[in-house]
Amino acid sequence: MVESSNIEPLKVSLTDLNEDMLHAILALVSDGIWDWNANTGFVYRNRGWYEMRGYEPHALENNVLAWERAIHPDDYLRVMMHFDDHLHQRSPHYQAEYRCRKQDGSYIWIEDRGHVIARNANGSVARMIGANRSIEDKKRLLEQLERRNHSLEAMVEERTRELSLLNQQLQAQLDENRTLAESDTLTGIANRYLLEKALPLECERSQRFRQPLSLIAMDIDDFKCINDHYGHALGDAALVHVVESVKRCVREGDLLARWGGDEFIVILPNSTVAAARALAENIRLELSGLPPVGDFQVTMSFGVAQRFEDEQQTGLLARADQALYRSKIIGKNMISG
């Protein structure tokens, strides 16, 4: 008989498994499992990950944006803080509880855990795997306990309902105020305030996930002449028609904002300068179908720029604006950058 002390335990490292074998194992797990290849940007998710959110398997794009966009806005910064701490080796693992949007638009509470299993020679993340599970029952139980604590007397219950109704009304008012504060009153698109909030976040995302980020700066050619010749009412109408044309060209996930006057900015996440130029050309062609304003055919000039590594939003904006200026110099209705 062989003594048990002579039996060597089987040791398997995740990094020793090939991609197909690892994903086959992950497919058997009921929890939501994800596998992020940071060098290629590809994210594998098992069936449980999709079922937890009400999706068919592989219904979403295999990238980090599909995950990011599902995080509740109120939880986003906290989740990214925990995520970055682990990426930069300030914590031994990644763990966060947050609300995740399901296919039907509702939110589910999940616990998300992850660990970097491989790094590149420079210390940056090469591969990271993780799992998440629903903690909806736990959160619901806590909510029930809280409600019971606040339901000792009928008077307290009634007051709670009144406060809840007031809170909903206040929240609706806050949402309306936020929309008004972040929207351009004439065109209805994002205003400069929202752009200045969104661009730093997109630069951080671009840096974190090593994905391209591009901008298009554009303004209407000879817009002052239109205002001077035909008045601000026709000038405002021309602005609205231009925005309607541009909106038909931008993609879901892009942010179109009025920078000021007749100048606009489009933020293009996960887009190269070539993609930005192609979009600018589509906009330029779309504008050619607009009716003239008196003797003026409405055209725009464009400047495109792609973010450099470690570049902040001010540098990116400045380069897009300089490219726009070059288009103005060389003849207008042009694309530079």
Q: Are strands 94-101 and 335-336 parallel, antiparallel or unpaired?
A: unpaired
Residue 201 CA neighbour count, 13 Å, CB half: 13
Q: Which residues contact 17 (CB under 8 A, 6 or more apart)?
A: 25
Q: Token pair for residue 276? A: 């930005």
* Integer Cα distance of 252 and 106 in angstroms: 20
CA 117 to chain centre: 26
* Integer Cα distance of 100 and 134 in angstroms: 10
Cα 269 to Cα 39, 68, 220, 336: the distances in Å are 18, 13, 24, 19
* Integer Cα distance of 232 and 198 in angstroms: 30
Cα end-to-end span (Å), the chain: 77
The three-state secondary structure class of 257 is strand
pLDDT at 139: 86
pLDDT at 159: 74
Q: Verify whether residue 219 is a known catalytic residue.
A: no
Q: Are strands 300-306 and 335-336 parallel, antiparallel or unpaired?
A: parallel
pLDDT by residue (tens digit) across 49-97? 999 999 999 999 999 999 999 999 999 999 999 999 999 999 999 999 9
Q: Which residues, in sequence order, are bridge partners of residue 116?
A: 128
pLDDT at 174: 67
Given CA atoms 256, 259, 262, 266 in this order, what sign does their dihedral have? negative
The full set of domains in the chain, from first to last, is 19-140 (3.30.450.20), 192-330 (3.30.70.270)
**Sheet containing 107-119: order of strands:** 42-45, 32-37, 125-134, 107-119, 94-101
CB 143 within 8 A of CB 168: no
Alpha helix stretches (DSSP H) within 88-222:
136-149, 154-182, 192-209
* Integer Cα distance of 328 and 302 in angstroms: 8
Q: What DSSP element (H or E) covers 115?
A: strand 107-119
* Integer Cα distance of 39 and 119 in angstroms: 10
Q: Token pair for residue 174? A: 């806050």
Q: What is the DSSP letter of 291?
A: P
Q: Token pair for residue 57? A: 């398997």
pLDDT at 162: 73
Q: Token pair for residue 214? A: 């591009």
Ramachandran quadrant class, 222 (left: phi over 0; alpha: psi -120 to 50; beta: rest): left
Q: Which of 112, 219, 221, 262 is catalytic?
A: 262
Q: What DSSP element (H or E) covers 306?
A: strand 300-306
Per-residue pLDDT of the chain (337 residues; tens, 9 = 90+): 344 444 444 344 555 556 666 565 555 555 789 999 999 999 999 999 999 999 999 999 999 999 999 999 999 999 999 999 999 999 999 999 999 999 999 999 999 999 999 999 999 999 999 999 999 888 888 888 777 777 666 676 777 777 777 777 777 676 555 666 899 999 999 999 999 999 999 999 999 999 999 999 999 999 999 999 999 899 999 999 999 999 999 999 999 999 999 999 999 999 999 999 999 999 999 999 999 998 899 999 999 999 999 999 999 999 999 999 999 999 999 999 9
